[in-house]
Every structure is written in structure tokens, then in C-alpha cells.
């Protein structure tokens, strides 16, 4: 039978589209796209498909049929862009599509546009943009996860487990469950930096086959509302919302797609529990899910999703009354519409006549439906609808080659062995495609592959390749098949020659398959430099994590360790759930001798997958290389516990344990003796609210001569209440995962009768204790060890507080220090720290014993300074002066601050056209604050991860230290000197005692620019997003800081702001109605530290300003209707922030006996909440000084009169001031309030004055003004 001519294809497509003329748009381009695709001319096909979808969605009238065709063409375009690859072209297409009005109303199709865009953005190397698109789609990124649980042959899918029964049976996140191989615990998983928001459970759980896991989160809504959960998964799913099953999908195995399953439900006011059971048999084990309204649009911003333990627990324990209302049905897309159009064929014994218009129409519907189902992969192999509808398309359109080719594609099984595949049926479908369309090069290439792989008929395969290339001599997949045939025949030299010829061909050489073949050739030649060049080209074309890993390894082989690490870190940034990425970074670090960095990397991976026994074995090897015997034992114990069949590691562990000793042996406190001598709780314990008290707290630290330390913690506590039991339900010692290892040595509950119940020590660094009751004692022993010397080299620092941080009584508090020789130690005491007992040990170490007894509870007051200010506190440091510390640190980071050519070029780009040095400085600051993404890491000895400015600039993210160093380096390029500044960021600042030089004083890093060249001296914070250069965040204000220069370290003071400058200014004009409603015009002018929060809240998503502003106003006024709003340019951080809004308020004025009352302050400060007590023991810590300036102009309704007005108020003191004036002008009354808080710290001696000030302000702001109708005739 002859193939369809262009005319006949057009006719078929036109006949298939019975309907309004708008539906016929794009048919010619669609026809050409399919014809070009069959010929393997993918780039040209993409252009036609893109034209068709733009024509369709650009039409003024859009029908469901149009949307169905548009969905088909959109997926066709995406598939072609992947084959070419042409990711940037697809992104540009969808950028144009999103501007079309038709997508504004079809949220389901727009969701598909965004999802496909995100995938292509990631493949184009634009991971950050991809993540931003996924956030816009409403993806959940915060879960409580538990698993793996048993799902042998689907048993777990069929049976309910505890999480599914919540909240009818309260959810307890602290209770482990019986897992597949061992007890498993809940843990919080936040998908930070995962571009496509995939919860990869296969990467996180061991084992990952025949298992299931629960992913749970809370959804908070202030009102009842309908919501929709749209999920993708690689296996079966069950969804419960507030204990009610809303979705059950039995699917053995499928690729992870988009919106593969959908369920709607009714959110109740308050916290709602969503519990998703995700199952796996074999293969991938992953899910992702997003929350929308039923029509697919985003949920309001005030609907909050969280996996915070408190939020989830509250949702999992709430009492539900009545049944939830039935939710609206979700809006479905093209697949549902096409399925409905084909409903007449379901179960039909006879199909319409092939020559009829109906057959043509239904055939095209079946073809497009099968294509969408094939690419979306919603079904597993047993229930695949794509195959079903492709067969229907073939039956109805026997001369449509694309349908036969699609059928062959659907016959490929996604799982199972080769023996399970029906290759004969596939071959026949391809043959039918060639019969129908003799120029179907795609089918010919596929036939060649089948002949080569399934039948071993290389001659026939070569014939099909020849025919395919006769249709399209540049068909890249036929060229790749040619290379495969040469390899199959053993013609290695011929394959090598052909591969390099193809690679040199500009029409072929940019394809990933051809570049891969070239890499094989270059690998055999050991041409590393050329391989690096090809890998870079490959990444520029198709950005994949494995290509990044391969490039990093090649760069390491070339001797460029620095660049290799930067490449590997790039892979970690964009693909943070891939184990091989972590392994590569660890190996690179080990190869350069940085064992600590290697261990940090494995620790980061173990945060993701804590039961990876191979990672624990790798840590054991690193510990062995560092000669850390105790660490080797700890890591081997963990690995063997996870897999008892590890024979060699098990033998090694037994050998090491036989000769092991511990640094704390001989120094332990006798628990039994402490229990015997305990006289019980204080007499007033119940009255004072003691939840527990310590029988003893013991800390022993050994500082080794190699610069590392080990710490032993041992405490015994008696529980006095349920609150105390909850506090000690779980325990985790404080340690830095990157540079330290922690291990729970012993944990048990001791009953009043002396019975001891030991905890199961599952994780080495965390323990879940047995159930604790009032009167029980809890005993825990733990140790923390440095893996190697910290970044600060030979430094040792300690800040030890003898009372407990939880302020309860401590019967005995003991600190043992074993200080090995080789370093000089300096000591500082705060409060009544006793003199130590000092002894010299046999190995030359100095032993110091500090002990205190009978420490009473600390009085607890709101906003009081922490016990660190008053002690008893001991500080120890090996630094004698700040100059000593600063010069050492400066020399260490000096080389890291050298600008690369890329940075120099960027600086020149930034300052181009700048008219002054001040403008240049501001532009550099703006770039660092906005374009370098802030990524918080731990500060201090074990959290300092220094990177060169080149790496920071290339990665486009960094922590506070990275941003400060990059700022200084870029400023140096314009001749401006700047220095790093170490600071303790604190919104409620305590007194900074920097007497003894210690790294532990600081948790943040900023920059200092001295006065120079007409520039003022200033501190700048590179993490201060939304802040202009002249506005420091409140957490930096008032701090004593260390400015580090090449020669010295200078202690400086950042001044507090002045209250009159740090001002929030509001103006209201309120027209009252006689029914109590009001029309309000509001002007908001936030100054200095009040402005950044407005930029953040309303500047990021201008489209959601009305919604967010309505939320904010609703908290003050109740339900509002916004009539108009104008904002200043919030994207310009240098511009003053201002916005005006006009809105209506219901029941603004309180009605009472025919009168109306209005408040002088709608949202009073209620400052007296700061001074509830009659007297104060400790000072009060406030935030930076502020002022609030509010003017309210009321206009009475026509025919109404004002009653008596409150008197003006004026209060002034050194602590603060308040002034309120009230004046009448006809129907208008104007109230002006100005409040200043002038100090950040209120001394206890001034408490009475401050209390008087706050109460005076509250009394004034509580006054009201009355209105009443005028009497007739007056």
C-alpha cells in the first residue's frame, strides 16, 4: 500500500478535527512536524510543532479540543527538544506561551508547561531557574519520613499501618516502627536545593526494594477550603488526609512523571494531616507531590505546609468533629477529555468504518491520547493504556505511519527481562510504519536495532541503516546505529574512524550520543585534555550529573584538583541526592590529603542515607588513615550493625575491640552512689514548675597534642513531670557533623525500684529512650571526637556553663580537662567558678578538675540575658591576643581572596557607566547580596568551610564568610579596601565579652569598609537580602566585633540605630459609614530596618501582592476588600519603600445602642506585656531602638457628631517617649501618635520607669472616641 501524500495527511487531520474553525489552526504545521519527525529531522520538526502550538493557544477562542491538541503538541515539542537536544529552544517556546491569555485560565495545561520547562531548564544547566519554576507549581518540599517498611509482594500496600490511622489514633513521631530489616525512626526531610523537588526514597533508604515509606506533612488553613494533591510516583500510592483515605493507586512500577495521580479533599480550619504511603517493588523508588486548588491554580499563600515536628504532631493528634465536607472535583486535562471522546469505543466489538470521517476523528483522538499516555507514563506495564489506544489508532488509521511507530514504542516493557518482551510484535509494528510511510527513517533505524540485538542479523540491520540514511543522511540515531554495527562486527578501527568523523561533522558532533562515542575513542587514546574539552561540550548541550562527575574525575587525572573539586561541588549543588556525587567529592578530598573534608562529605551523605553501610566503611577507612582507633571501631560497629554479613569488617572490628581503651576510663562518676545519696526534689519544685533536676552533669574533655579533642558527656537526671519526660524522650549530643563524630555509649531509664531499661542504640549519634514516667531517672553517656585537626589548626577553645541550660537545679556539676603538652592555655572565669584541682599525669598532660555542688535553679524571666552573661562560666582558649588570632587567620585566607579573571570581568561589567566611586561600591554590594545565593552553614571551629572567591563566584552561592570575602575581593578591584569582620548576630543582643580571644564568640561574618577616598566608614552584610547598603540587619546592630586585617585584629563597636531614624510611618484617612463600615486610605512609609520586610513580603511575586496585602490588613481590620493599591519599585533596594492602599472594611466601628465607637489605635503595641511583673531581677533585652509614627484622620458620616475626645498624652524619659494628640475639625478628628523606644537594653534598676512608660502608652492607645447621630433640628 502506498504512503499517504502530504495532501492525504492534511485531509486526514482536517477531517479529524470537526469543530469550530479555531480548532483547525496549526494543522498544517502539525502535519509537517510529524512528517519531519518520521524522517529523523528533529530540529525542523520542533520548529513546526512549536509553530502549531503557538497558533492554537494564540487563537481568541479556545475549546477543550484545542487544549487537547495543544497538550499533544507541547509534549511532542518537549520530546523533540530532548532528542536534538534543544533545551534552550523549548524554554524560549514556553516563555512565549506563558504570555498568551489562554494559559491564564487553564491552570492544568499551564502546570504542564511549567513542569516541562523546569525539566529543560535543568538539562540546560539552569538549575536555580528550574527550582523557581517548581516552587511556583506548589510542590511540597518538607516531609516527615519513616521507612523502609516491609512491602513484600505488595502486602504493605494492602494493609494499614499506624501513620494511616492518625489522627483517630494519635501520631507519635518519637515512636519507631518495625521496618523491613530493623526498627526505623521518623526523620525530617527538606528538599533544599533539589531542583525538580523529587523525594528520592531509593537514595535515602536501605533496603529499597519490596518496601514502602510514609511521607507526612501538615497543611494549615485559617478556613475550610478545597485542596488538590497532585502526585507522581514510581510505584503504588495511598493518600490519607486527616485519617480519611482519598486516593489508592495500585501500580507496580512506572517512571516518575508529573501529576500522575490526583485527589481532592476538604481542608478543615487549623492543621490538617496529609499522610502519603509510597510503595516500591523494584527499580526506582521516588515521589513528588504538589498542592493546588481543584482547578490547578496555586493555593493562597496563607495556606502553610510544614513538616515541623510540632506542626505534624498537632495535626496528627487533633480531635475531629463530624465528617469533612465533600470537596469539589479536580479539573482534569487533555487525557481525560480525549478519554471521554473515545468512550464509545470502550468494549465495542466493532469499530467505525475506516473510511468514515468518524473513524478518522476517533483515530486521531486515540493517537494523541496514546502519545500523551506514553510520554506521561501514568500506568505500569500490566495496565498500560497507551498501548491500548495506540492499537485503536492503528485499527482506525492503518495508513498513518506515526500510529504504527507509536504502537511499537508502547510495546517496549519498562521492566522485566528481555525474555518477557514481545520483540516480534514490535518488529511488525515498525514494518507497518515503513509500509504506511516508506520514508519513516525512525522505524528503519529501530528495525536495524532489533535485527542487531534480538536476532543477531547484522546484514539485515545494515540494510535498514542504509535505507534510513537514504531518507536522511544526517539522521543522528541512524549514525549511532552504524557505530553499534561496526562494534558488533569487531571493526574497532573502523568504528574509531567513523566516530571521529561524525564528531567532526557540525551537523552530528553536537549530539550527546556522538560525543559519547568520541569520548570512548579518546579514552582508549588516554587523551585526557581532549576528553575534558568534549565533556565540557557535552555538559553545555545536555547538563547531567554523571557528566559532571566524569568531568571532575578527568580534571583530577589531569592534575587540576582545584577545578575538579569545583566541578564536583557544582554537581552536588544541582543534584544533591546522587550518592556518586558525594563519593566523587570524598575521593577527590582524600586524593589531595584532606581527610577531614572527605569525612565531612560522607557525613553529609549519611544525613541523606544514614543506613548506607558502605559509607560507614569509608568513614572507618578515613579514621584508620588518621590513626583514630576509637573512630574506626565506632564506624565499623555501625556498618556491621546494618549488615551483619560483612565478614571482613566484622573480623577487623573484633580484633580492634580486643585491645581498645577509652580516654575517660577511671574518671567516670558512680551512678549507683549518686542514686543512693539523692535526697529528692526541692521542696518548692512543684510550685516553681521544675520538670526535672540533675543528680549530676559530668563533662570530660581531652585536648590532644595533635590539635584534636575528645569529649565525654555523662548525666543523670530525675524526671518530675510529663514535660520532663518529653524533654528526654530522645537525646542527641551537640556536635559538628562535618568534622566530628558522635556516639551514644549508653542510655537507659532507671525506675524508682531500681529496674534499668536500656535504650536500643540504633543510630550512633541519636537515641530514642524507653518510655519515661514521673519519678524515673534518665542516664546517658556519649562521646564526641574530632576526626582531624580543625580548620583553625592547633586552636583549642571551650566555653563551659556549670548550671544547666534548662535552668533547673543541679546537685553536682563537674568538668574535667586533660590538656596534653604542646600548647599554652588561657583561662577566663565569669561568676563563682571554683579553683581547679590540678595534677600532672604520667604522660605529661595537665589534669584540671572543676566541681560545683548544690546549684539552685535559675530564675526565669522573659527577655532576660542568658546565664552566659553571669555564669558560673569557664572559658579556655589557646589564643592570648586578638592580634595573634587575626594575623594567623589573615595569612590563611589571603590567597583565597585573589580575584579570578572572571571576577575581574564581572566587576568591570558592574561598574560600567558608574559616575562615582560610591555608585561602584553600591553596585558591587547589590550584586553580592542579590546574585550570590545565601546558603547557611555552621559557623565556628567545626563549621568553617573556606572557599576561594573564584569558587564562590562560579557556584553563585555561599555562606556569610564566603559572601564577605567575595565582597572584599571585588571591592579591591576598584581600589577600595575592605576587611572581614567576625560578629555574633543576635536580634536580642547580650553584652559581648571579648576579653579572651575565642572563635566561639562569633556566628556570623560581614565586611568593614574604612573611610577612604571620600567614602564613609561602614559595615556591610553580604547576606542582607532586601537591605540597601546603608541599612544593616537588626541582628548586626550594637555588636562588639573583630575586624581582621593583615597586621592586627581590632575590636570595634557597631553603633545602635537612633529611634527617630529607624521609624515606621503610617497615615490613615478613614471615612466612616453610619452602619459602622469604613472606607480606608492607608499610606505606609517604612524607614531603615522596617523596609526590608516589606520588600520581601511584596516584592518577590508582584502577582500575589493583593492576596498578601489582604492577609496583612485582615489581621488588623478583619475582612477587607482592596479597591486600589500602588507600590514603589520594591526591586530597587536603594529606592525608598512606600505603598498606598485603598480598601473597604466591614464593621470597622463598634455599634452600641445607636452609637459608634472607634479606637485611637487599631493595633496597639501592647508594650505592657514586656513589664507584667511588679519588680525585675534581670535586665530586659529589646531589639534595636525604633519609633512608630501613626496619624489617623477619621471623617464622621453625614449627620453624625463626635462625642468628647480623649486628652492628649505626653510621656518622656531616657528610656523612651510617647506623644498622642487629638484634634477636631468639623466632621474630622485627627489622632497622631509618636512612640520611641530609645534603648535596646533596660537595666533592672530602671524597670519601674520602663513599666510606667509602657503602661502609660497602653492606656492611651486603649482609649476610644464615640460618635452619635445628630438630633433632628440641631
Beta-carbon contacts of residue 1274 (< 8 Å; ≥ 6 apart): none
Query: What span, in angstroms and rounded, lies between the C-alpha atoms of 362 and 358?
Result: 6
Helix (H) or strand (E) holding 107: helix 107-123
CB 1268 within 8 A of CB 1156: yes
Band (pLDDT 50/70/90 cuts) for residue 763 is low
Tens digit of pLDDT for each residue in 442-497?
999 999 999 999 889 999 999 999 999 999 999 999 999 999 999 999 999 999 99
Band (pLDDT 50/70/90 cuts) for residue 3 is very low
Query: What span, in angstroms and rounded, lies between the C-alpha atoms of 388 and 307?
Result: 41
pLDDT at 1179: 95
Query: What span, in angstroms and rounded, lies between the C-alpha atoms of 944 and 897?
Result: 16
CA atoms within 13 A on the CB side of 755: 8
Quote the mean pLDDT of the chain: 90
> Which segments of 581-691 are extended strands (E)?
none
Pairing of strands 709-719, 286-292: unpaired
pLDDT at 654: 85
Of 262-271, 298-307, 400-409, the one with minimum mean pLDDT is: 298-307
Pairing of strands 244-249, 237-241: antiparallel
Higher confidence at residue 737 or residue 1008? 1008
H helix runs in 703-836, sequence order: 722-727
pLDDT at 376: 86
Task: Evaluate the omega torsion of the peptide bond into residue 872 and state whether it is cis, within 30 degrees of 0.
Answer: yes
CB 953 within 8 A of CB 910: no
Tens digit of pLDDT for each residue in 1177-1222?
999 999 999 999 999 999 999 999 999 999 999 999 999 999 999 9
Residue whose C-alpha cell is 554523571: 546
Tens digit of pLDDT for each residue in 323-382?
666 777 777 788 899 999 998 887 777 778 877 888 888 999 999 999 999 998 888 888
Section 1065-1079 average pLDDT: 96
Section 637-652 average pLDDT: 90
Which one, of 125, 1048, 1053, lies nearest residue 540 by Cα? 125
DSSP for 171-220, please give it. --TTS-EE-SSSEE--EEEE-TT-TT--EEHHHHSSS-SSEEEEEEEEEE
Section 552-580 average pLDDT: 95
Largest CA distance in the chain: 113
Tens digit of pLDDT for each residue in 918-968?
999 999 999 999 988 887 654 544 445 557 888 888 878 788 888 999 999
Pairing of strands 1040-1044, 1018-1020: unpaired
Band (pLDDT 50/70/90 cuts) for residue 686 is very high
Query: What span, in angstroms and rounded, lies between the C-alpha atoms of 767 and 760?
Result: 7
Tens digit of pLDDT for each residue in 170-215?
999 988 999 999 999 999 999 988 999 999 999 999 999 999 999 9
Higher confidence at residue 466 or residue 16? 466
Band (pLDDT 50/70/90 cuts) for residue 15 is very low
pLDDT at 116: 96
pLDDT at 419: 44
> Which segments of 802-845 are extended strands (E)?
810-819, 826-830, 837-840
- Angle at which helix 127-136 crosses helix 107-123, to 10 degrees, equals 160
Pairing of strands 957-958, 1209-1212: unpaired
CB 1149 within 8 A of CB 1158: yes
Query: What span, in angstroms and rounded, lies between the C-alpha atoms of 298 and 225?
Result: 13
Amino acid at each position: 500500500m502506498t504512503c499517504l501524500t502530504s495532501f492525504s495527511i492534511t485531509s486526514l487531520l482536517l477531517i479529524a478535527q470537526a469543530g469550530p474553525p479555531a480548532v483547525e489552526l496549526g494543522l498544517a504545521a502539525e502535519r509537517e512536524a510529524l512528517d519531519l519527525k518520521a524522517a529523523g529531522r528533529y530540529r525542523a520538526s520542533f520548529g513546526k510543532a512549536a509553530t502549531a502550538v503557538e497558533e492554537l493557544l494564540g487563537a481568541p477562542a479556545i475549546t477543550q479540543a484545542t487544549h487537547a491538541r495543544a497538550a499533544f503538541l507541547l509534549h511532542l515539542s518537549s520530546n523533540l527538544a530532548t532528542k536534538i537536544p534543544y533545551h534552550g529552544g523549548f524554554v524560549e517556546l514556553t516563555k512565549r506561551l506563558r504570555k498568551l491569555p489562554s494559559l491564564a485560565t487553564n491552570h492544568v495545561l499551564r502546570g504542564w508547561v511549567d513542569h516541562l520547562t523546569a525539566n529543560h531548564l535543568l538539562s540546560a544547566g539552569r538549575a536555580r531557574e528550574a527550582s523557581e519554576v517548581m516552587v511556583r507549581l506548589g510542590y511540597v518540599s518538607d516531609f516527615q519520613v519513616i521507612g523502609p517498611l516491609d512491602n513484600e509482594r505488595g502486602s504493605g500496600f494492602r494493609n494499614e499501618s499506624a501513620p494511616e490511622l492518625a489522627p483517630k489514633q494519635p501520631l507519635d513521631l518519637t515512636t519507631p516502627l518495625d521496618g523491613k530489616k530493623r526498627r526505623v525512626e521518623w526523620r525530617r526531610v527538606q528538599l533544599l536545593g533539589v531542583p525538580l523537588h523529587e523525594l528520592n526514597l531509593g537514595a535515602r533508604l536501605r533496603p529499597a526494594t519490596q518496601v514502602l515509606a510514609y511521607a507526612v506533612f501538615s497543611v494549615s488553613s485559617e478556613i475550610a477550603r478545597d485542596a488538590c494533591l497532585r502526585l507522581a510516583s514510581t510505584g503504588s500510592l495511598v493518600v490519607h488526609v486527616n485519617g480519611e483515605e482519598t486516593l489508592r493507586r495500585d501500580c507496580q512500577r512506572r517512571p516518575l512523571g508529573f501529576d500522575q495521580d490526583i485527589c481532592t479533599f476538604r481542608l478543615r480550619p487549623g492543621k490538617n494531616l496529609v499522610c502519603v504511603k509510597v510503595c516500591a517493588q523494584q527499580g526506582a523508588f521516588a515521589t513528588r507531590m504538589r498542592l493546588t486548588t481543584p482547578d490547578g491554580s496555586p493555593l493562597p499563600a496563607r495556606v502553610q505546609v510544614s513538616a515541623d515536628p510540632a506542626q505534624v504532631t498537632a495535626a496528627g493528634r487533633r480531635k475531629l468533629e463530624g465528617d469533612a465536607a465533600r470537596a469539589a472535583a479536580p479539573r482534569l486535562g487533555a487525557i481525560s477529555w480525549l478519554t471521554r471522546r473515545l468512550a464509545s469505543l470502550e468494549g465495542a466489538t466493532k469499530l467505525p468504518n475506516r473510511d468514515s470521517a468518524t473513524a478518522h476523528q476517533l483515530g486521531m483522538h486515540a493517537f494523541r491520547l496514546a502519545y500523551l499516555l506514553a510520554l506521561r507514563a501514568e500506568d505500569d506495564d500490566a495496565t498500560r493504556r497507551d498501548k491500548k489506544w495506540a492499537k485503536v489508532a492503528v485499527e482506525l488509521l492503518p495508513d498513518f505511519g506515526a500510529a504504527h511507530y507509536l504502537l511499537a514504542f508502547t510495546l517496549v516493557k519498562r521492566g522485566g527481562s528481555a525474555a518477557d518482551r514481545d520483540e516480534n510484535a514490535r518488529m511488525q509494528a515498525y514494518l507497518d510504519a515503513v509500509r504506511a510511510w516508506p520514508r519513516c527513517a525512525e522505524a528503519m533505524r529501530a528495525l536495524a536495532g532489533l535485527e542487531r540485538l534480538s536476532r543477531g542479523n547484522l546484514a539485515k540491520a545494515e540494510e535498514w541503516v542504509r535505507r534510513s540514511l537514504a531518507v536522511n543522511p544526517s539522521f543522528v540515531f541512524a549514525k549511532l546505529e552504524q557505530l553499534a554495527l561496526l562494534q558488533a562486527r569487531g571493526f574497532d578501527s573502523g568504528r574509531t574512524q567513523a566516530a571521529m568523523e561524525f564528531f567532526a561533522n557540525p551537523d552530528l558532533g553536537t549530539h550527546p550520543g556522538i560525543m559519547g562515542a568520541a569520548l570512548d575513542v579518546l579514552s582508549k587514546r588516554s587523551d585526557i585534555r581532549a576528553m575534558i574539552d568534549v565533556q565540557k561540550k557535552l555538559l553545555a548541550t545536555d547538563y547531567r550529573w554523571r557528566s559532571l562527575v566524569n568531568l571532575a574525575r578527568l580534571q583530577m587525572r589531569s592534575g587540576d584538583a582545584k577545578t575538579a573539586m569545583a566541578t564536583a561541588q557544582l554537581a552536588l549543588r544541582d543534584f544533591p541526592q546522587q550518592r556518586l556525587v558525594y563519593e566523587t567529592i570524598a575521593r577527590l578530598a582524600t586524593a589531595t590529603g584532606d581527610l577531614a573534608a572527605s569525612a565531612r562529605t560522607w557525613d553529609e551523605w549519611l544525613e541523606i542515607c544514614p543506613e548506607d553501610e558502605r559509607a560507614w566503611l569509608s568513614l572507618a577507612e578515613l579514621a584508620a588513615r588518621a590513626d583514630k582507633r576509637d573512630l574506626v571501631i565506632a564506624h565499623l560497629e555501625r556498618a556491621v550493625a546494618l549488615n551483619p554479613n560483612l565478614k571482613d569488617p566484622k573480623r577487623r572490628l573484633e580484633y580492634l575491640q580486643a585491645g581498645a581503651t577509652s580516654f575517660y576510663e577511671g574518671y567516670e562518676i558512680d551512678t549507683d552512689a549518686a542514686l543512693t545519696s539523692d535526697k529528692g526534689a526541692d521542696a518548692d519544685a512543684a510550685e516553681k514548675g521544675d520538670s526535672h533536676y540533675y543528680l549530676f552533669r559530668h563533662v570530660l574533655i581531652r585536648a590532644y597534642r595533635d590539635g584534636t579533642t575528645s569529649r565525654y558527656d555523662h548525666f543523670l537526671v530525675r524526671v518530675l513531670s510529663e514535660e520532663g519526660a518529653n524533654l528526654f524522650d530522645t537525646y542527641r549530643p551537640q556536635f559538628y557533623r562535618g568534622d566530628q563524630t558522635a556516639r551514644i555509649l549508653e542510655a537507659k531509664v532507671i525506675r524508682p525500684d531500681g529496674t534499668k531499661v536500656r535504650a536500643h542504640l540504633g543510630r550512633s549519634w541519636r537515641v530514642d529512650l524507653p518510655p519515661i514516667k514521673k519519678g524515673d531517672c534518665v542516664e546517658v553517656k556519649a562521646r564526641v571526637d574530632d576526626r582531624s585537626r580543625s580548620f583553625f589548626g592547633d586552636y583549642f577553645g571551650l566555653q563551659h556553663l556549670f548550671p544547666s541550660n534548662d535552668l533547673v537545679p543541679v546537685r553536682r556539676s563537674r568538668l574535667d580537662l586533660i590538656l596534653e603538652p604542646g600548647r599554652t592555655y588561657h583561662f577566663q572565669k565569669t561568676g563563682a567558678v571554683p579553683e581547679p584541682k590540678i595534677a600532672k599525669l604520667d604522660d605529661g598532660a595537665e589534669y584540671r578538675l572543676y566541681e560545683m555542688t548544690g546549684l539552685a535553679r535559675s530564675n526565669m524571666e522573659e527577655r532576660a540575658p542568658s546565664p552566659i552573661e553571669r555564669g558560673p562560666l569557664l572559658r579556655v582558649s589557646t589564643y592570648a591576643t586578638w592580634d595573634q588570632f587575626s594575623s594567623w587567620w589573615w595569612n590563611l585566607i589571603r590567597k583565597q581572596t585573589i580575584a579570578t579573571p572572571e571576577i575581574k570581568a564581572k566587576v568591570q561589567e558592574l561598574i560600567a557607566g558608574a559616575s562615582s566611586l560610591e555608585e561602584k561600591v553600591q553596585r558591587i554590594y547589590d550584586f553580592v547580596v542579590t546574585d550570590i545565593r545565601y546558603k547557611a552553614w555552621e559557623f565556628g571551629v567545626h563549621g568553617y568551610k573556606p572557599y576561594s572567591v573564584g569558587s564562590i563566584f562560579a557556584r553563585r552561592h555561599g555562606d556569610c564568610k564566603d559572601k564577605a570575602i567575595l565582597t572584599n575581593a571585588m571591592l579591591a578591584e576598584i581600589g577600595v579596601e575592605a576587611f572581614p569582620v567576625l560578629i555574633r548576630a543576635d536580634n536580642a543582643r547580650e553584652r559581648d565579652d571579648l576579653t579572651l580571644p575565642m572563635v566561639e564568640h562569633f556566628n556570623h561574618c560581614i565586611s568593614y569598609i574604612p573611610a577612604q577616598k571620600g567614602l564613609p566608614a561602614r559595615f556591610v552584610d553580604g547576606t542582607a537580602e532586601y537591605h540597601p547598603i546603608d541599612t544593616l540587619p537588626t541582628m548586626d546592630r550594637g555588636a562588639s566585633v573583630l575586624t581582621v586585617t593583615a597586621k592586627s585584629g581590632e575590636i570595634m563597636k557597631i553603633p545602635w540605630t537612633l529611634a527617630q531614624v529607624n521609624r515606621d510611618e503610617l497615615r490613615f484617612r478613614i471615612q466612616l459609614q453610619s452602619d459602622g463600615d469604613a472606607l480606608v486610605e492607608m499610606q505606609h512609609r517604612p524607614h531603615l530596618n522596617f523596609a526590608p520586610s516589606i520588600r520581601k513580603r511584596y516584592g518577590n511575586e508582584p502577582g500575589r501582592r493583593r492576596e498578601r496585602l489582604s492577609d496583612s490588613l485582615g489581621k488588623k481590620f478583619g475582612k477587607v476588600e482592596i479597591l486600589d493599591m500602588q507600590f514603589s519599585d520594591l526591586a530597587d533596594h536603594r529606592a525608598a519603600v512606600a505603598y498606598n492602599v485603598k480598601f473597604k472594611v466591614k464593621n470597622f466601628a463598634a455599634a452600641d445602642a445607636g452609637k459608634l465607637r472607634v479606637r485611637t489605635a487599631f493595633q496597639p503595641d501592647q508594650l505592657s506585656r514586656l513589664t507584667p511583673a511588679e519588680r525585675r531581677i534581670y535586665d530586659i533585652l529589646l531589639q534595636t531602638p525604633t519609633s512608630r509614627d501613626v496619624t489617623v484622620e477619621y471623617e464622621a458620616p453625614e449627620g453624625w457628631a463626635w462625642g468628647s475626645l480623649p486628652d492628649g498624652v505626653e510621656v518622656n524619659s531616657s528610656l523612651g517617649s510617647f506623644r498622642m494628640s487629638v484634634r477636631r475639625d468639623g466632621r474630622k478628628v485627627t489622632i497622631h501618635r509618636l512612640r520611641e523606644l530609645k534603648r535596646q537594653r533596660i537595666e533592672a534598676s530602671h524597670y519601674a520607669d520602663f513599666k510606667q512608660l509602657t503602661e502609660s502608652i497602653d492606656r492611651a492607645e486603649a482609649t476610644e472616641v464615640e460618635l452619635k447621630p445628630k438630633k433632628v433640628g440641631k
